[in-house]
Amino acid sequence: MNQAQTGAPMRLGVCYYPEHWPESMWADDAARMKALGITQVRIAEFAWSRIEPQPGQYDWGWLDRAVKVLGDAGLQVVMCTPTATPPKWLIDQHPDILAVGADGRPRRFGSRRHYDFSSPSWFEASQGICTAVAQRYGQHPAVAFWQVDNEYGCHHTVVSYSPAAAQRFRLWLQARYGDIATLNEAWGTVFWSMEYRSFAEIDPPIETVTEAHPSHRLDYRRFASDELVRYNRMQVDIVRAHSPGRPVAHNFMQMFNEFDHYKVAADLDVASWDSYPLGALEEMWFAPQIKARWLRTGHPDFAAFNHDLYRGMSRLPFWVMEQQPGPVNWAPWNPAPLPGMVRLWSWEALAHGAGCVSYFRWRQAPFAQEQMHAGLHTPDNQPDLAAHEAEQTAAEIAVVQATGLDGAVRPRVALLFDYEAKWLFEIHPQGADFHYPRFAFGYYSALRSLGFDVDIIPTDAPLDGYSLIVVPPLPVLPQGLAQRLAHSGAHVVIGPRTGSKTVNVQIPQHLPPGPLAEVMPLRVWRVESLRPNVTEVVDASALNLPQLNALHWRDLIEADAAVEILGRYADGHPALLRHGKLHYCASIFDEAGTRDVLAHIAQSAGLAPQRLTDTIRISQRGGLVYVFNYDTAAYDIQGVDAAAFVVGAATVAPQGVAIYRQAAPSQ
């Protein structure tokens, strides 16, 4: 492990919209892309109205010429299917394409993603346009890579409550449960007389007087996710049929959890994602002071989390399909990245294993919704800061790849991440701020602050090779996972509420932690959620740790005598427990507490946790170590020989990057 591998690609790309600009500019654009060191060019993902301006009448001329210009310049084209933006004539022909909101009203044309995954008209129309594009460019020599659709689910478009969705949901339920009695039993519809006599009686779970049944709601979310999986697979199959041998990707979104990305990625060759560290900071759960602190850099662990997540679900090296190059337009506030950040983010992606970082977009568009979204060039076609930073990155990539040390990322620490957990806690929170992604990110950030590379993995991933596995609150433990964790050889840290639900959203027969109790004999006999202005303190002196602050939640636990109590609340209830290598946290600890607990357990696991400041992050890929400085001050790397530096030096400037050769194999 941690030995260098060679041959992994490190490429740069860009998103390009020839249809937005005069054809006379294309050749110059292509030449300058090449000159900057860009090799991949994504096109056409929103171009349906230009490809098929009238129903059934295709206009390939402009796109043929655009592809030729790019190919002639030595660039590789990432061709897209344009299904994220069905044109107006199609919507007018088939109004049932429009998804229906939770308010029971159909959405309208005029932005994007105005479609319903369950609409038969839409499915057919999508097959048509995908086939047309794939046939046209599937064998084109300049086309090296595909992207299907664009940002599935963006703007809350995974779930629709249309009649078509309702009809397909009933079929989905029938397939899952077989007969209605089984469903009634599985859900527990006897409660509140919600029993159904047939699948035909079941509607989408909206506009109810008070909350709808949680099993009903979770199944609707699963169904919606499966509809998306089916739709994606249709597109992938069409592209593969007409363009064999070329990787097919989709560009996922950052910390977006409304469908099961593992399932969609299983049908792709490449999981790519769109990285907007500043926009994300504004839009996510972070407190105002955190948003101000990382205003122009983004949170140091946010892009990294997504890199590690998508790396794991990608068969080939993952991509950053869209990289923020400057201010964006879509967050409530849109500050500019500090000089150097675009380079830093690019190297951060590569250090986490990215095969390509593709900037969004070549040139800022002067019109429409995203006219305030920066690009590598300003609308008047002058290079913006990001163009220079991309160019520098391209040059540095050549240096790094020349070392032959640009191998794989091989973490010894894993974090389990599960999409259904997010939906379940959202549907059935019990505490209004029990926010799964926030908690998972909290554990991740603590691990990164200890200097660890991290794999983010699904519940069915192999667990061997890890020394430390962190399981954020995982309500439904799949069959066998508890045993696999116990026998993985790793130290395991498990969050509260784990094993608290069956797959049908019931409380397990012998109470939480459900199947986990087979390997860690606990009984969670009571739980309580805590409002934000309440903190419980935990005495962790058994571990020589300072007092921990517990937030959000308490599992009250009866533990078998064989289980060690490592920490207790003031009222004596266990707060942190150990059984063999398994550790159970009965609450969410605050940032410092999480870090202290994980550092202690990592040490026990034979790892060597560091104590990085919150502005310094370290990654290892192949035989190289990457240091990222998010600080406003320079950072001095200690104990590394000056000759070891491949990029930068021991003093890392603010927003700087340093890359050095690993002194010796770490074990």
Residue that has been written with the tokens 């020394």 in this structure: 467
Residue 274 binds to a second copy (criterion: CB under 8 A):
no
- Hey, is 522 helix, strand or coil? strand
The residue range among 99-107, 249-257, 302-310, 415-423 that interacts with a second copy, by the rule CB under 8 A, is: 99-107
DSSP 19: G
By the 10 Å C-beta count (0-12 exposed, 13-18 middle, 19+ buried), 332 is classed as: exposed
- Looking at the DSSP bridge assignments, the partners of residue 415 are 456, 470
Grouping H, G, I as helix, E, B as strand and the rest as coil, residue 259 is coil
| Residue number with CB closer to a second copy (27 or 507) | 507
- Determine the residue type at 14: V
Residue among 167 and 610 whose Cβ is closer to a second copy: 167
For the window 523-552, what string marks contact with a second copy as x by the rule CB under 8 A? Answer: x-xxxxxxx-xx------------------
295 binds a second copy (CB under 8 A): yes
> What phi and psi, each to the nearest 5 degrees, are found at residue 357?
-120, 120
Cis peptide before 513 (omega within 30 of 0): yes
Shortest CB 289 distance to a second copy, Å: 7
Distances (CA, A) of 206 to 100, 165, 217, 226: 11, 13, 9, 19
To the nearest whole angstrom, how small is the minimum distance from the Cβ of residue 226 to a second copy?
21
DSSP 617-650: EEEEETTEEEEEE-SSS-EEPPS--GGGEEES-S
Interface size with a second copy, residues (CB under 8 A):
113
Q: Which two tokens stand for residue 20?
A: 């937005």
User: What is the footprint of a second copy within residues 441-480 (CB under 8 A)?
Assistant: none
478 within 8 A of 460, measured Cβ to Cβ: yes
Which span sits near a second copy by CB under 8 A: 139-147, 343-351, 520-528, 577-585? 520-528
Q: Is 662 in the site for a second copy (CB under 8 A)?
A: no
Question: Token pair 């946010």 is at which residue?
Answer: 302
How far is the C-alpha of 536 from the C-alpha of 540, rounded, in Å?
13
Which residues inside 360-389 make contact with a second copy, applying CB under 8 A?
364-372, 374, 378-380, 382, 384-385
Interface of this chain with a second copy, residues 553 to 592, rule: CB under 8 A = 554, 556
Nearer to a second copy, 209 or 643 (CB): 209
Q: Which residues contact 237 (CB under 8 A, 6 or more apart)?
A: none
The only residue of 266, 336, 644, 653 in contact with a second copy, by rule CB under 8 A: 336
Binding-site sequence positions: 112, 150, 330
Count CB-CB contacts under 10 A for residue 466: 23
Residues in 419-448 at the binding interface with a second copy, rule: CB under 8 A: 428, 430-432
195-224 residues near a second copy, rule: CB under 8 A:
195-197, 201, 203, 205-216
Residue whose CB is less far from a second copy, 72 or 201: 201
CA distance 644 to 204: 61
In angstroms, the first-to-last Cα distance of the chain is 8
Shortest distance in whole angstroms from residue 649 CB to a second copy: 24
Residues involved in catalysis: 151, 322
Instruction: By CB under 8 A, tell whether 19 contacts a second copy.
Output: yes
> Of the candidates 30, 41, 99, 657, which one interacts with a second copy according to CB under 8 A?
99
- Using the contact rule CB under 8 A, the part of the chain among 162-170, 284-292, 456-464, 608-616 near a second copy is 284-292
Cβ closest to a second copy, residue 30 vs residue 44: 44
**Pick 370 or 426: Cβ nearer a second copy:** 370
Find the helix or strand (DSSP H, E) in which 667 lies.
Answer: none
Q: Which of residues 386-415 bind a second copy (CB under 8 A)?
A: none
Least distance (Å) from a second copy to the CB of residue 129? 11
Helix, coil or strand: residue 451:
coil
Among positions 76-95, residues that touch a second copy (CB under 8 A) are 82, 84-89, 92
Q: Which of 7, 91, 630 is nearest to 341 (CA)?
A: 630
Nearer to a second copy, 398 or 432 (CB): 432
Q: How far is the CB of 74 from a second copy (least distance, A)?
A: 27
Q: Where are the alpha helices (DSSP H) in 462-612?
A: 481-486, 591-604
Q: Least distance from C-beta 167 to a second copy, angstroms?
A: 16
**Can you give the C-alpha Rg of the chain in angstroms?**
26
Which residues in the 489-508 window bind a second copy by CB under 8 A? 504-508
Tell me the window of 333-341, 593-601, 610-618, 621-629 that interacts with a second copy (CB under 8 A).
Answer: 333-341
Site for a second copy in 138-197 (CB under 8 A): 154-157, 187-197
By CB under 8 A, what part of segment 43-72 binds a second copy? Answer: 46-50, 53-54
User: Please, what is the minimum distance in Å from the beta carbon of residue 210 to a second copy?
Assistant: 4
Contact (CB, 8 A) for 132 and 58? yes
Rounded Cα distance between 107 and 49, Å, is: 20
Nearer to a second copy, 166 or 649 (CB): 166
Q: How far is the CB of 632 from a second copy (least distance, A)?
A: 11
Query: Considering the rule CB under 8 A, would residue 112 count as an interface residue with a second copy?
Result: yes
Min separation Cβ 337 and a second copy, Å: 9
How far is it, in rounded angstroms, from Cα 579 to Cα 577? 7
Q: Are 588 and 496 in contact (CB under 8 A)?
A: yes
- Which listed range, 469-477, 518-526, 585-593, 641-649, lies at the site for a second copy (CB under 8 A)? 518-526
Hey, what are 36's tokens?
Answer: 């900057």
Question: Which residues define the annotated binding site for substrate?
Answer: 112, 150, 330
Handedness of CA 71, 75, 81, 87 (dihedral sign): negative
Taking the C-alpha atoms of residue 93 and residue 287, their distance in angstroms, rounded to an integer, is 46
The only residue of 113, 263, 352, 448 in contact with a second copy, by rule CB under 8 A: 113
From the CB of 573, what's the least distance to a second copy, in Å?
A: 10
Count of beta carbons in the 10 Å neighbourhood of residue 349? 27
Among 65, 105, 315, 487, contact with a second copy (rule: CB under 8 A): 105
Which lies closer to a second copy via its Cβ, residue 177 or residue 318?
Answer: 177
CA separation for the pair 93, 83 (Å, rounded): 16
By C-beta, is 509 or 667 nearer to a second copy?
509
Three-state secondary structure call for residue 400: helix
